[in-house]
A = this chain, B = another copy of it.
C-alpha cells in the first residue's frame, strides 16, 4: 500500500529550521548548515541538474529516500517565500523550469490557484481544503508508489501529529540551533526504529510510525 514518507534534516536539539526565518533566510539563522551533509553528494547534484560531487554512506540513504515516489506534498512556505497573501502567478517555485521532482506536487495553502505544469513531469497542484484532502489526492496520483512529504517543518509536524505519516527519516546534524521550528513538539505517536546509518557529519535515523 502507498505510504506517506518524510525525510528531513534536523539539528541535534530538534530544530528543522533556525530562529528568525525570513525571505532571505528561509531556513532561519544557522539553518543552512542543516544541508551541509547533502549538498556535496554527487547524487544530490545530479538530481538538481548539477555535476561533480562525492559518494559516501549518505548516498544510498539519499537515493533510497527519493526512490519509488509517485507524488509529493509540500507546505506553501516551502514552495515560495510569499507570506500570507494571495499568489503571485509569476512564482513557480524555487526549482526552475524543470524541477527535480518529475511527479505531481500538491501544495497545501489557503489561497486557490490553477495547477501549473512544468517541464519534466512535475505539476504543481494547489490544495485549499486541508492536509487530509492533499494526502488523498497525492495517493491517487501516486498509484502504487509512495507519497513524499517534503516539508517544511510546520506541515510535517501537522501530518505527524494527525497520525497520517507512515515513515519518518531524520538526518541528525551535529549542530545546536538553539531556537526555531521544532519538528517533534506536541506530537504523540508511537515510533519503531527501522535503522540508523552513520555518515560523514550526519546520522540517518529512520522510524516507522506505529498505527
Contact = CB atoms under 8 A, between A and B. Distances in A.
Interface of A: 12-14, 170, 172, 174-176, 178, 184-189, 191-193, 195-198, 201-203, 205, 207
B201 A193 contact: yes
Given A193-B202, A196-B196, A198-B195, A174 B13 contact: no
A188 B193 contact: no
A187 B175 CA distance: 11
Contacts of A192: 174
A205 B173 CA distance: 11
B178 A186 contact: yes
Given A13-B14, A184-B13, A198-B196, A191 B207 contact: no
B178 A191 contact: no
A191 B174 contact: yes
Which 4 A-B pairs have CB atoms at the shortest separation, nearest pair first? A196-B198, A196-B203, A13-B184, A174-B191
A11 to B, nearest CB: 9
Nearest to A205: B203
Interface-central residue, A172, A184, A197, A203, by most chain B CB under 10 Å: A203
10 contacts: A12-B170, A13-B14, A13-B184, A13-B187, A175-B191, A178-B186, A193-B201, A195-B198, A196-B197, A197-B198
Nearest to A184: B13
A205 B14 contact: no
